[in-house]
Amino acid sequence: MSKTIPVALGERSYNIHVAPGLLAHAGALVKPFASGVVPVVTDDEVARLHLQFLLAALRHEKIEVQPITLPTGESTKSFAGLERLVSALIASGVDRGGMIIALGGGVVGDLVGFAAGIVKRGIDYVQVPTTLLAQVDSSVGGKTAINVAEGKNLVGLFHQPKLVIADTALLKSLPKRQLLAGYAEVAKYGALGDAEFFSWLEQHGNAALSGDDATMTSAVAHSCRMKADIVARDEREGGERALLNLGHTFGHALEAATGYSDRLLHGEGVSIGMTLAFELSVRLGHCDAPSARRIRAHLESVGLPVSIAQIPGERPDAKIVLAHMEHDKKARNGRLTFVLARQIGESFFTRDVSKQAVLELLAA
């Protein structure tokens, strides 16, 4: 059930390998790119669960490794975290022609990608994503970033990895809530551009989430293929890549309105956001109501939140949510940007949505 997905970017092309148990083969996969000491960067939680297996696989191929463990959590993706990592990388002795491995979720992947892009003016790196979100989204496409006081992911660069190794068996140790949050991004691919995949998820999504390796591997591989194809056509988000933000205008605003707290994970925000984006599409006459109902029903059936009322604690105020949308880094001159849908599998980007329509939907 092993799958290999090429990301076609000319001289920056690379492969994504997806299979359960792949960590054991990481040495052989990495070997062609390794030279000298290879820093392996991870967070405390992933270190406890999976680091020793990756180190053993690398050492088996006589690769010299230097583990670097960072504190778990989003706050590691900061200037302070970057400074600590850069120092550790330089101290490790990795050279300009060498390579760095990122083992972890999107936090580790984004930070290591950024550090690899700037240390010694750029060193190669390999992504070994360990969350579902990282396997289907953040490890693919070369966007790297840290958060600053002014907002999330505002400082970073494009730096494509040399290789992505997605071992779907690693997802078994992921807390259910994190797994579901990542699944929102999987469903997003079907919703934004592949009706057949969405139908497949309606039939098999629950099996994938319940630990069936073959179905999860298919879901991850298909998601990666969709992202890889979009990135290959639009690496720097001049156009089509923006469709990957389906559900994210609402989602980001809800995350901001809830203080980026444990009340709402990113993927949960995306799930509510996608449901709202389809509802808005129906209200504006772009999309048929049954499509929107199917989106909501499927997300709900796997256990994801689909409405603002499901966020624990005080309901975020519609006006405050709208204000966050106006400050979204993708908004221009105060005009909101949205990915809306014509039907499941057909989405489009627009700046022509009135604030009134959004307020009415948020208040409903």
Ligand X SMILES: NC(=O)c1ccc[n+]([C@@H]2O[C@H](COP(=O)([O-])OP(=O)(O)OC[C@H]3O[C@@H](n4cnc5c(N)ncnc54)[C@H](O)[C@@H]3O)[C@@H](O)[C@H]2O)c1
Enumerate the active-site residues: 121, 143, 185, 227, 237, 241, 245, 248, 252, 266
The angle at the Cα of 102, spanning 132 to 255, to the nearest 5 degrees, equals 50
User: Quick one: 160 or 218, whose CB is closer to ligand X?
Assistant: 160
List the one residue out of 343, 325, 200 whose CA is nearest residue 282: 343
Contact range with ligand X by CB under 6 A, out of 28-36, 131-139, 203-211, 325-333? 131-139
Contact 242, 349 (CB under 8 A): yes
Report phi then psi at 159, rounded to 5: -150, 105
User: Pairing mode, if any, of strands 124-129 and 99-104?
Assistant: parallel
Smallest gap, in angstroms, from Cβ of residue 202 to ligand X? 24
Q: Could you give the CA distance from residue 30 to residue 101 in angstroms, rounded to a whole number?
A: 9
Token code pair at residue 78? 């900061």
Contact 357, 324 (CB under 8 A): no
Contact 251, 244 (CB under 8 A): no
Q: Judged by CB under 6 A, does residue 107 bind ligand X?
A: yes
* Residues composing the chain: 364
Q: Judged by CB under 6 A, does residue 49 bind ligand X?
A: yes
User: Quick one: 61 or 74, whose CB is closer to ligand X?
Assistant: 74
Contact range with ligand X by CB under 6 A, out of 115-123, 133-141, 230-238, 325-333? 133-141
Contact range with ligand X by CB under 6 A, out of 11-19, 62-70, 135-143, 213-221? 135-143
DSSP state letter for 248: H
Contact 68, 191 (CB under 8 A): no
Smallest gap, in angstroms, from Cβ of residue 104 to ligand X? 6
Contacts of 213 (CB under 8 A, 6+ apart): 1, 20, 168, 169
Q: Judged by CB under 6 A, does residue 1 bind ligand X?
A: no
Q: Judged by CB under 6 A, does residue 131 bind ligand X?
A: yes
Binds ligand X by CB under 6 A, chosen from 141, 273, 316, 345 = 141
Smallest gap, in angstroms, from Cβ of residue 70 to ligand X? 10
Size of the site for ligand X (CB under 6 A): 28
Binds ligand X by CB under 6 A, chosen from 15, 35, 153, 343 = 153
Q: Could you give the CA distance from residue 118 to residue 184 in angstroms, rounded to a whole number?
A: 32
Which 65-94 residues touch ligand X, going by CB under 6 A?
72, 74, 77
Binds ligand X by CB under 6 A, chosen from 174, 246, 325, 353 = 174
DSSP state letter for 61: T
Which 281-310 residues touch ligand X, going by CB under 6 A?
none
DSSP state letter for 335: B
Which of helix, strand or coil describes residue 328?
coil
Contact range with ligand X by CB under 6 A, out of 33-41, 57-65, 94-102, 167-175? 167-175
Contact 112, 103 (CB under 8 A): no
Binds ligand X by CB under 6 A, chosen from 127, 130, 217, 249 = 130
CA max distance for the chain: 62
Which amino acid type is present at position 243?
L
Q: Judged by CB under 6 A, does residue 168 bind ligand X?
A: no
DSSP state letter for 6: E
Smallest gap, in angstroms, from Cβ of residue 147 to ligand X? 7
Q: Judged by CB under 6 A, does residue 235 bind ligand X?
A: no
Smallest gap, in angstroms, from Cβ of residue 42 to ligand X? 9
Chain contacts with ligand X (rule: CB under 6 A): 43, 45-46, 49, 72, 74, 77, 104-108, 110, 130-131, 133-134, 137-138, 141, 143, 152-153, 170, 173-174, 178, 266
